[in-house]
Amino acid sequence: MARLGLQALGAAAAMMMASWAGAANAPQLAALAKLETGEWELRLRDDPTAPPRRLCVTMPHQLLELANAGPGCKPFVVSDAPAAATVTFDCGAAGNARTDLRVETPRLIQIRSQGISDGAPFSNMVEGRHVGACR
């Protein structure tokens, strides 16, 4: 299951930039306002042996889209507070997702994402750490 989580995490990271067609359509969330842009290291919490993924974050809302967010996905903000946000994504026939993001510091976050992607359920617990400038 963790292997599937890594595959989904990697595939979703490649699609992230397209899900909200530019920053103009991205919701302005209080929880995201604190986060630093740059390179983030993402680790699956339920599989500490899985290698981490690196992601160049130019817009913090990318961190909400780690699973099942691609072109045509419609975000809906469920809750937004200075230290936490919940967003659901309706991706039509491709599936749906719910992502809960908790901000511990501007450089450390916890993300829980679950839903259905291409007919299969997924659930990921990810810890994200800002590690510096994008390479």
Q: Say how far apart CA 128 and CA 110 lie, in whole Å.
A: 6
At residue 27, the pLDDT reads 63
- Say how many domains are in the chain: 1
- Tell me what percent of the chain is helix, strand and coil, each rounded to the nearest 5: 25, 45, 30
Structural domain for 113, as ranges? 49-127
Q: What's the predicted TM-score (pTM) here? A: 0.78
Residue 29 forms part of a structural domain: no
13 vs 124, higher pLDDT: 124
Residue 81 forms part of a structural domain: yes
pLDDT tens for residues 40-58? 999 999 888 999 999 999 9
Q: Say how far apart CA 79 and CA 86 lie, in whole Å.
A: 5
Average pLDDT over residues 84-106: 93
Residue 87 forms part of a structural domain: yes
Residue 16 forms part of a structural domain: no
Q: Say how far apart CA 74 and CA 88 lie, in whole Å.
A: 8
Residue 12 forms part of a structural domain: no
Residue 98 forms part of a structural domain: yes
At residue 28, the pLDDT reads 80
Residue 112 forms part of a structural domain: yes
Residue 17 forms part of a structural domain: no
